[in-house]
């Protein structure tokens, strides 16, 4: 196994594109820190490679400059197996390591190990945060109206967790039940069960796809501390079927700020309706909101904020 390199380094502007490293194009340098899912160039070449593949399948050879475009994975498969580089080494995250899973990252044990050991503490670690009335969410994270967050990783794979608003409102939990690896989840469907004593709540999945990993930490401790809600306390990792479609139904940046502002106001109203007018002392809501206010009705909270 190669030695992991820091994701915090400032990358040079001359990082070779994956397509260039595979030999599909002569010169192309990455400008997006290898965030291929957000790269228009990557999308364009994938489209051309697929068109060429379909032409060849019909026995019609492609013509012109576009004819040389094949999927970068297919080009690398022409190399001896021991020379086929792992995607993580191509992106400069580790030293050279040969791919052992035919470039199928979705079910690759090393890919899961890499993200579990390194990405949670580096790529997934928040840098800048929105702070809405004391509730935080990192910039660049998508948010579902049911308070599940989504962090895009790569190859249409995302990491999913419970946002700080829900963690502090409903937690700590006795247990969190997630579907098993290989199971399919559907956007807006109740796929994750949050359990606190005798209370149950369903968390709606923010995307559709196949689960490729679950957080083993939650098997031992399901409390989801608010300081770790966006890092160590992720819930599941999903290979999304149609990520672009699903993201259209999620919020990010200003949309998230507006939504959370409204949610905090609604939470104050629910609390005041159950426990009476709050003393205005300039303070903010803390953690374990449900536990500290026994007057609150669990079902009202779940219907109002988890939308389940």
pLDDT tens-place string over residues 154-189: 778 899 999 999 999 998 999 999 999 889 999 999
Question: Does residue 303 surpass a pLDDT of 80?
Answer: yes
Question: Does residue 31 surpass a pLDDT of 50?
Answer: yes
Give the mean pLDDT of 128-135: 87
Q: Which residue ranges make up each domain of the chain?
A: 18-103, 105-308
For the stretch 98-123, pLDDT in tens is: 999 898 887 787 877 776 665 554 44
Q: Answer for the pair 148, 179: CB distance below 8 angstroms, yes or no.
A: no
**Alpha carbon distance 105, 112 (integer Å):** 8
Lowest mean pLDDT of 35-39, 83-87, 270-274, name the range: 35-39
As a CATH number, domain 105-308 is 2.40.50.100
Which residues touch 233 (CB under 8 Å, ≥6 apart)? 161, 162, 167, 215, 217, 218, 224, 225
Question: Does residue 2 surpass a pLDDT of 50?
Answer: no
Q: What is the mean pLDDT of the chain?
A: 85
Given CA atoms 58, 64, 66, 70 in this order, what sign does their dihedral have?
Answer: positive
Q: Answer for the pair 111, 105: CB distance below 8 angstroms, yes or no.
A: yes
pLDDT-based confidence at residue 124 (cuts at 50, 70, 90): very low
pLDDT-based confidence at residue 203 (cuts at 50, 70, 90): very high
pTM of the model: 0.67
pLDDT-based confidence at residue 218 (cuts at 50, 70, 90): confident
pLDDT-based confidence at residue 27 (cuts at 50, 70, 90): very high
Question: Does residue 49 surpass a pLDDT of 90?
Answer: yes
**Alpha carbon distance 288, 98 (integer Å):** 47
């Amino acid at each position: 196994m190669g030695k992991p390199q820091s994701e915090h380094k400032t990358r040079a502007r001359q990082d070779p594109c994956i397509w260039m490293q595979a030999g599909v194009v002569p010169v192309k340098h990455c400008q997006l820190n290898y965030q291929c899912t957000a790269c228009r160039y990557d999308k364009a070449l994938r489209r051309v490679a697929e068109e060429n593949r379909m032409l060849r399948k019909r026995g019609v050879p492609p013509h012109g400059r576009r004819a040389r475009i094949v999927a970068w994975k297919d080009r690398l498969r022409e190399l001896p197996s021991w020379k086929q580089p792992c995607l993580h080494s191509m992106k400069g995250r580790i030293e050279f390591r040969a791919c052992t899973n035919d470039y199928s990252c979705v079910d690759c044990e090393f890919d899961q190990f890499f993200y579990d050991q390194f990405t949670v503490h580096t790529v997934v670690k928040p840098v800048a945060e929105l702070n809405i009335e004391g509730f935080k969410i990192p910039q660049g994270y998508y948010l579902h109206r049911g308070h599940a967050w989504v962090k895009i990783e790569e190859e249409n794979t995302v990491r999913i967790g419970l946002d700080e608003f829900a963690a502090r409102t409903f937690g700590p939990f006795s247990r969190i039940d997630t579907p098993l690896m290989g199971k399919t989840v559907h956007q807006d469907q109740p796929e994750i069960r949050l359990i606190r004593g005798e209370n149950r709540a369903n968390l709606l999945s923010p995307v559709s796809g196949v689960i490729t990993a679950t957080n083993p930490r939650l098997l031992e401790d399901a409390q989801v501390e608010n300081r770790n809600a966006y890092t160590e306390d992720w819930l599941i990792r999903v290979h999304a079927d149609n990520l672009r479609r699903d993201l259209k139904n999620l919020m990010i940046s200003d949309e998230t700020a507006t939504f959370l502002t409204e949610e905090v106001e609604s939470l104050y109203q629910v609390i005041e309706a159950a426990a009476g007018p709050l003393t205005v002392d300039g303070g903010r809501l803390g953690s374990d909101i449900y536990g500290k206010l026994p007057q609150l009705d669990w079902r009202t909270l779940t219907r109002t904020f988890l939308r389940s």
